[in-house]
Structure 1
Amino acid sequence: MEQTPLYPVIRLNPGKEEAIKRFHPWVFSGAIHDAAEGLQAGDTVTVTDYDGNILGTGFCESESIAVKMLCFDNRKIDEWFFLERLKQAYEVRRIMRLTNQPHTNCFRLVHSEGDGLAGLIVDIYGHTAVVQAQTEGMALHLKEIVRALKLIPDLELQAIYNKSADAMQRMGKEDVVVEDGYLFGERLDEVILENDSRFLPNWEEGQKTGFFLDQRENRELVRRFAEGKTVLNAFGYTGGFSVTALKGGARRAVTVDASKKAIAAAEANLKLNGYSIEENPCYVADMKEYVTEMREGAFDLIILDPPAFAKRHHDRHRGLGGYKFINAEAIKRIAKGGLLFTFSCSQAVDKATFQSIVTAAAIEAKRNVRIVDQLSQPADHPINIFHPEGAYLKGLMLYVE
């Protein structure tokens, strides 16, 4: 029996339905044959093949990715749809033992395409959910998302904060009017726990949702190897790696970031965990300048966790140069037998390319380097197997002779 589309239709060119049939959640503008009149970014649409067979439902976009798919059937996108997806996402975190844990009370509940909700991020900090809409469609459905979140009793939410304005601007969506603020409850001055380290995330003024939850397992790895070492946390943001290195017995941790606000937060987090900021200083500095002036052998464990140098593909060439430069300088200056944890969070730089850039940096530094571990994002940042582009965080643990 032929189904009637629930929403205005976008029809694909002949043969362009194959990616959708393989459950890839993006429809590119070049795949579209025609579309219903008057469609705007954020509208919910039904996607069909050239012959009118329904392929799925998604949100209209205004860029080269013309539609971000939400499901691959003819379904109403409402509060009950979001509730179903949120419950599925919560179940994954429960099975991964990330919920109701005495030593860690923060995790990512929704990771965009990885959880079948392209364009939506939800991070949990204690009893607060921080929601980030990254598409117009998600921004227009925030009320339904909030209602659905409140219907998951195991979350025990007391507040929901909307942190979408900066994300919209960062993604070039300045025309979308989204104001940050509490959609439910009010600010809770909660200390969050990550493997018993204590932090004060600032989702109101900080970057992203207030804390980089995607580095939780990598911070724990640093803790395991930090004993007795002098540590440099480069691009250190709010000091997460510094705190965990000191928890692991590091002799000293130095945090460097270009943001005064981030460094102030790093100092607060160090103090919160009982560490002296005189003995473990935090500096506001340009990391590219700092690393070139750094004394050789001053640090025997270095973390390089820069912001995305290549946010989009047209930034890729310049971004790769940035990654090569900081890695080469760090490899030149790290102590003999030092450990370097180096990362890229750029979706435009794949794992193989990142490794080749770090290899080029080691050649330039003229030091013998071993890869002793390959690092990625944790279980609460899942990668949809049909959307490999979701593997954005890649890292290497290097031993430098």
Structure 2
Amino acid sequence: MAPSPDKLQMFENRLTKVFRHLKKLARRQNISCYRVYDDDIPEFPFSIELYENKVYVAEYQRRHGMEEEAHEAWLDSCLELISKVLEIPLDLIFVKQRQRKQHRQAQYEKLSFESQEMIVQEAGLKFKVNLSDYLDTGLFLDHRITRGMVREEAKDKKVLNLFCYTGSFSVYAAAGGATQVTSADLSKTYLSWAEENMRLNDIDVSKHEFVHADVLQYLDTLKLNTFDLVIMDPPTFSNSKRMKDFLDIQRDHVTLLNKVLLATKKGGVIYFSNNYRRFVLDEAQIEASSIRDITTPTTPFDFQQKLIRKCYRIVK
């Protein structure tokens, strides 16, 4: 069933109110890429993000009971409304459909070949985002504050970024004065994207490492007491054909963290986060000197009450 005009009006009212509020906060903080809406009303299961002058809309898959044609018409109505409220032309709005539970390898699969790429700014740094071709844009907006913390701590440090994706944490670390940043990921596509992000910021990539590896195996090759600062933001589950093992972050986080701690210098810091809704950190089994849950202080203004990820600062 397509929603009634009343429901569309409800969606418009909600979007208008939220956008008006967030736009002010974003302007005050000089932020040009932020999330505007995230599944606030069940009948309109969208995530809507603004990337400067363009909009990225992800429609979460759910049983809507509409025929394909009716669904298309409904989606067109929603997009017209989003265009009107956000004052962005329809041709600058990009739409993806995504499942609520997503396996990591889907993130690596190219979904289209439009290459709607643009360079956006965040905290004085530049990043390439792609609004059309992949499931994610290349910049996780919810880690904006965490990236800033890494930048502040990185000076003269040796940094490791595991499951690095497009290397935004690596860019922040290098910009913060890290002596060397090692970025590891299973995807060659994302590693070259990470390298491109480094170059965009005039960072000498020859001073840094980009490692194409299955992180689960790569951890066993690391030397003891090597890194001062580690970022680890793994997927909840991963069973990519290129991985030897299946990753389940609830089951495997203790093993992963203890291996990372071995490769970390005494007093070194690990920023660990994940998106598993029911995640429980098994603190007693982690061989660290201190563990602090920093989920709340690292939650940006546009993710308040909406964020499912957990974030921890772990000290060896």
- TM-score (normalizing by structure 1): 0.66
Provide the rounded CA distance (Å) in 1 between the counterparts of 2:80 and 2:176.
Answer: 41
Deviates more, 1:116-125 or 1:337-346: 116-125
Kindly provide the amino acid, as one letter, of the partner of residue 215 in structure 1.
H
Distance of aligned partners of 1:309 and 1:169 in 2 relative to their CA distance in 1, 3 Å threshold? closer
Give yes or no for the alignment of 1:370 onto 2:290. Answer: yes
Deviations 1:349-384 (A, max 9, x none): 2xxx12xx244122xxxxx4213552343221231x
Distance of aligned partners of 1:358 and 1:233 in 2 relative to their CA distance in 1, 3 Å threshold? farther
Partner of 1:226: 154
Which portions of structure 1, spanning 4 or more consecutive aligned residues, are displaced by more than 6 angstroms?
A: none
Deviations 1:30-57 (A, max 9, x none): xxxxxxxxxxxxx358xxxxxxxxxxxx
Deviations 1:183-232 (A, max 9, x none): xxx97653111111100012323342432111111101111111111100
Give yes or no for the alignment of 1:341 onto 2:291. Answer: no
> Could you tell me the percent identity over the aligned residues?
24
Partner of 1:159: 92
Provide the rounded CA distance (Å) in 2 between the counterparts of 1:153 and 1:88.
Answer: 11
Kindly provide the amino acid, as one letter, of the partner of residue 371 in structure 1.
I
Q: Cα offset for 1:84?
A: 1.5
Partner of 2:108: none
Give yes or no for the alignment of 1:133 onto 2:47. Answer: no
Distance of aligned partners of 1:190 and 1:83 in 2 relative to their CA distance in 1, 3 Å threshold? same
- In the alignment, is the contact (CA less than 8 A) between 1:163 and 1:181 conserved in 2? no
Alignment match of 1:332 (pick from 239, 262, 271): 262
- In the alignment, is the contact (CA less than 8 A) between 1:327 and 1:358 conserved in 2? no
Give yes or no for the alignment of 1:121 onto 2:54. Answer: no
Q: Cα offset for 1:336?
A: 1.3
Partner of 2:107: none
Distance of aligned partners of 1:205 and 1:391 in 2 relative to their CA distance in 1, 3 Å threshold? same
Kindly provide the amino acid, as one letter, of the partner of residue 361 in structure 1.
I
Partner of 1:314: none
Residues 103-252 of structure 1 correspond to what in structure 2 (within 5 A)? 104-113=31-40, 119-136=45-62, 137=64, 140=72, 141-152=74-85, 159-164=92-97, 167-168=98-99, 189-252=117-180
Alignment match of 1:381 (pick from 300, 303, 316): 303
Distance of aligned partners of 1:181 and 1:85 in 2 relative to their CA distance in 1, 3 Å threshold? farther
Deviations 1:283-329 (A, max 9, x none): 11111111111111221100010011399xxxxx9432221221111
Coordinate RMSD, CA, aligned: 3.0
Partner of 1:323: 253
Kindly provide the amino acid, as one letter, of the partner of residue 329 in structure 1.
K
Partner of 1:62: none
Deviations 1:213-269 (A, max 9, x none): 111111011111111111001110000100011111111111111111111110110
Provide the rounded CA distance (Å) in 2 between the counterparts of 1:301 and 1:237.
Answer: 17
Provide the rounded CA distance (Å) in 1 between the counterparts of 2:86 and 2:311.
Answer: 36
Provide the rounded CA distance (Å) in 1 between the counterparts of 2:274 and 2:263.
Answer: 20
* Pair member with larger Rg: 1
* Long gaps (5+) in structure 2: 104-110, 240-246
Provide the rounded CA distance (Å) in 2 between the counterparts of 1:359 and 1:99.
Answer: 43
SS of aligned partner of 1:191? strand
Provide the rounded CA distance (Å) in 1 between the counterparts of 2:257 and 2:157.
Answer: 19
SS of aligned partner of 1:296? coil
- In the alignment, is the contact (CA less than 8 A) between 1:323 and 1:358 conserved in 2? no
Partner of 1:294: 222
- In the alignment, is the contact (CA less than 8 A) between 2:46 and 2:59 conserved in 1? yes
Deviates more, 1:227-236 or 1:390-399: 390-399
- In the alignment, is the contact (CA less than 8 A) between 1:128 and 1:157 conserved in 2? no
Distance of aligned partners of 1:275 and 1:358 in 2 relative to their CA distance in 1, 3 Å threshold? farther
Distance of aligned partners of 1:290 and 1:111 in 2 relative to their CA distance in 1, 3 Å threshold? same
- How many residues matched? 293
Distance of aligned partners of 1:268 and 1:318 in 2 relative to their CA distance in 1, 3 Å threshold? closer
Distance of aligned partners of 1:196 and 1:284 in 2 relative to their CA distance in 1, 3 Å threshold? same
Kindly provide the amino acid, as one letter, of the partner of residue 258 in structure 1.
L
- In the alignment, is the contact (CA less than 8 A) between 2:116 and 2:130 conserved in 1? no
* Long gaps (5+) in structure 1: 1-42, 46-73, 173-179, 312-316, 363-367, 384-389
Give yes or no for the alignment of 1:91 onto 2:24. Answer: no
